[in-house]
Amino acid sequence: MSTATIPSVRGPRLKTRTVNKHSVDRPRRSPLLTVLTAVVLVYSLVPLVWLLINSTKTQQDLFTSFGLWFGDSFALWDNITTTLTYADGVFVRWLGNTVLYVVLGAGGATFLAILGGYALAKFDFPGKRAVFAVVIGAVAVPGTALAVPTFLMFSQLGLTNTPWAVIIPSLISPFGLYLMWTFAAEAVPTELLEAARIDGAGEFRTFFRVSLPLLAPGIVTVLLFTMVATWNNYFLPLIMLRDSSWYPLTLGLNAWNAQAATAGGEAIFHLVITGSLLTILPLVAAFLLLQRYWQSGLAAGSVKE
């Protein structure tokens, strides 16, 4: 075991103390932190495990077998088929509506956040501090607080009970704008932009050819946040939509759950569980596929050399 001598001054005399190099390189272990991490992991995984297991059960097994163990029959594929074909395939319609809201709403919110964040990070203009204060204030305001005023405004415009009542409010993401603002300030060097301008590149060409590739990790991070927020959006569609044909998955599954809670509605309880499983699978796949971009986007700018 190698040691190193580090001088330390105490009064008039020079003393030395021995430091173990291996103890410096070895990460500290905290039993309490390990236990807390395990508790959080179990708390997060148990509902998913319960959902996966109960999606494989028949309607009868749901009420006769233990929740965290499989039933007598493996009916996952039958449940998926029944869920997709029930009521003339209304679940597929709800899925298509959700994808529409995510593509236009979350995609548009990400695009606007990219443009706004880049402009705020790399251009100076009068009132920039005021814009910063407005963005921070908008991040602090919960979306539910704006739902009723938004409904009243869209009602005056005649846009309620239409897809635009869900898509247009989803285009505004103050947190995504702030995230792109801070990310662009660190990820895109000002010297690189000046070099491109000296070479004769215009602002649009500089943005698309130079800045946009550097912003890719931040773009993916903002896209994930806005996609999850739009995919799981419940309260805004609840007050905006009356026609069930425009429901997203969140409202559709809630309608099924309310029907299952009524007398004689227990026959579709297994559809609620299977539909919930199908609802979270696209989000899980998106996080797994984009995980490395998401992690690099969160870590960018955290260390300066």
**In the chain, what are the domains?**
87-299 (1.10.3720.10)
Q: Tell me: pLDDT of 15 over 60.
A: no
> Quick one: pLDDT at residue 69?
85
Q: Tell me: pLDDT of 3 over 60.
A: no
> Quick one: pLDDT at residue 202?
86
Averaged pLDDT score across all residues of the chain: 84
Longest dimension (CA), the chain: 90
CA–CA gap between residue 110 and residue 223 (Å, rounded): 6
Report the Cα–Cα distance between both ends of the chain, in Å, rounded.
Answer: 32
Beta bridge partners of 4: 19
pLDDT tens digits, 18-35? 545 444 456 677 888 889
Coil, strand or helix at 17: strand
| 165 close to 159: Cβ distance less than 8 angstroms | yes
The token pair that represents 176 in the structure block: 């995504």
> Quick one: pLDDT at residue 6?
46
Kindly report the pTM of this predicted structure: 0.82
CA–CA gap between residue 274 and residue 79 (Å, rounded): 6
Who's near 240: CB < 8 A, 6+ residues apart? 151, 154, 160, 161, 165, 166
Q: Give the angle 212-216-220 at the CA atoms, nearest 5°.
A: 135
Q: Smallest Cα–Cα separation from 139: which of 106, 174, 109, 112?
A: 174
CA–CA gap between residue 275 and residue 252 (Å, rounded): 9
CA–CA gap between residue 92 and residue 105 (Å, rounded): 19
> Quick one: pLDDT at residue 20?
52
17-20-24-30 Cα dihedral, nearest 10 degrees: -110
Tokens 């594929």 belong to residue: 77
How many other CB atoms are found less than 10 A from the CB of residue 268? 18
CA–CA gap between residue 233 and residue 140 (Å, rounded): 18
Who's near 65: CB < 8 A, 6+ residues apart? 57, 71, 72
DSSP assigned state of 30:
-
Instruction: Give the E-state strand segments of 11-99 in sequence order.
Output: 13-20
| 137 close to 74: Cβ distance less than 8 angstroms | no
CA–CA gap between residue 115 and residue 211 (Å, rounded): 11
> Quick one: pLDDT at residue 2?
45
> Quick one: pLDDT at residue 64?
81
Work out whether the CA dihedral 229, 234, 235, 240 comes out positive or negative: positive
CA–CA gap between residue 174 and residue 152 (Å, rounded): 21
pLDDT tens digits, 119-143? 999 988 888 889 888 888 888 888 7
Residue 113, CA distances (Å) to 62, 135, 219, 245 in order: 45, 11, 9, 30
| 67 close to 52: Cβ distance less than 8 angstroms | no
CA–CA gap between residue 231 and residue 222 (Å, rounded): 14
